[in-house]
Structure 1
Amino acid sequence: MNRFVVISGCSSGGKSSLLAELAQRGYAVVEEPGRRIVREETASGGTALPWLDAHAFIRRALAMAAADLASAAANPAWTFFDRSAIDAASASAEMTGTPLSHPPGRYHRAVFMAPPWPELYVTDGERRHGLHQAIAEYDRLLRDYPALGYDVVLLPRLSITERADFVLKRWARRRKASHALLAIDIDGPSTDWKAQ
């Protein structure tokens, strides 16, 4: 059973806050590659930044996500990832016009997706793109994760603690269903984020 759970979705949709709450509850979490890359490149004067050299940035994101997955493999505990190699592969396919392909390694089949939350959206030194670009990325991920065999579960607009409870309850149900060899059930929130 794959124990690597991805939380992806729209920028500024509450992913990092949710991961911080899960970490507070004792779960292993992995920070988003993109923000780590931006900090490293900025500190070193590098150019592998989405607004300077997007191709180099995506190559670094793919490499970092692969390294994160390899590191998590040494940990027997369940691990929650803030984005994944799929996000970078999706961006690469979009940018180069090449067919989408799955990067090495697999994640748990159920992927939690944070929909756009315009009221929360902010830019900062590590996130310079606007809400319109963030929603376009979200729409692409909502298409590409299922194309690679993943089931998307949308995160409802709730408080951080309620969102963490939602993730853990859904995750527990899916674990139970998988262990019982039952079909995975997707009866979660509507995939229309505007209805959330």
Structure 2
Amino acid sequence: MAALLRMVVTGGPGTGKSTLLDALELRGLATEPEVARAILREEGGMALRADDPAGFALAMFDAELSAFRRVEAESGPVLFDRGFPDIAGFLHLEGLSVPAAIDRACRELRYEGPIFRAPPWDAIYRRDAERIQDWDAALASDAAVSAAWREYGYTLIDLPLADVSQRADFVLSRISGEL
């Protein structure tokens, strides 16, 4: 039985993370969806994000912690759409401090596998009902979350600016040596 290998795709909004996870799931890789988008789609989610960024971060943390723990019984690789350091990056971007529980999770609840970064890509960036940032804000978000991952001791692997099939091939080739 293969050991659990938690991996992450991170990066700013609109960089193709969720699309990549969907493609990898179709190829048989276990995935965990982005918790922030799920919260934003709930009643009051957009207002929570706008009116109480610290509360939004705590809601993301609770959901991310549940997802992290839910897969502990799994074996083999699981690819997450974002992780704990993304929450720290969001808080930094908002000019807020990182609560002790989130900092502790970033330090102690480690992802074992590669951390892939979907770099900003203007050609595919689109705003939608939950992705409200303009291009400059998306760039700032990428910088903040990337810095947070590095701050917590992770090395990021940039995904190529390529179609989703090529990106999926890239991820699968990188994790084949980890399995």
Q: Give the TM-score normalised by structure 1.
A: 0.80
Q: Structure 1's 84 and 122: CA in aligned 2 closer, same or farther, altered over 3 A?
A: same
SS in 2 for 1:125: coil
Distance (whole Å) between structure 2 residues aligned to residue 146 and residue 116 of structure 1: 17
* Structure 1: 4+ residue segments shifted above 6 A: none
Q: Does 1:89 align with 2:88?
A: yes
* Paired-residue identity, %: 31
Distance (whole Å) between structure 1 residues aligned to residue 32 and residue 154 of structure 2: 19
Query: In the alignment, which residue of structure 2 is the partner of 1:135?
Result: 139
SS in 1 for 2:64: helix
Query: In the alignment, which residue of structure 1 is the partner of 2:31?
Result: 29
1:121-164 per-position Cα deviation (integer Å, ceiling 9, x unaligned): 11111111111111111112222212211110000111111100
Q: Structure 1's 46 and 111: CA in aligned 2 closer, same or farther, altered over 3 A?
A: closer
Q: Give the TM-score normalised by structure 2.
A: 0.87
**More relative contact order, 1 or 2 (CA 8 Å, 6+ apart):** 2
Structure 1 residue runs without a partner (length 5+): 177-196
SS in 1 for 2:48: coil
Q: Structure 1's 21 and 153: CA in aligned 2 closer, same or farther, altered over 3 A?
A: same
1:20-76 per-position Cα deviation (integer Å, ceiling 9, x unaligned): 001001111111011000112x2xx45663222211111100111010000011211
Q: Does 1:60 align with 2:59?
A: yes
Query: In the alignment, which residue of structure 2 is the partner of 1:123?
Result: 127
Q: Does 1:13 align with 2:15?
A: yes
Query: In the alignment, which residue of structure 2 is the partner of 1:179?
Result: none
Greater gyration radius: 1
Distance (whole Å) between structure 2 residues aligned to residue 72 and residue 98 of structure 1: 25
Distance (whole Å) between structure 2 residues aligned to residue 6 and residue 35 of structure 1: 16
Query: In the alignment, which residue of structure 2 is the partner of 1:51?
Result: 50
Moved more, 48-57 or 21-30: 48-57
Distance (whole Å) between structure 2 residues aligned to residue 13 and residue 3 of structure 1: 23
Q: Structure 1's 71 and 98: CA in aligned 2 closer, same or farther, altered over 3 A?
A: closer
Please give the root-mean-square deviation of Cα atoms over the aligned residues, in Å: 2.0
Distance (whole Å) between structure 2 residues aligned to residue 4 and residue 98 of structure 1: 23
Aligned length: 172
Moved more, 156-165 or 95-104: 95-104
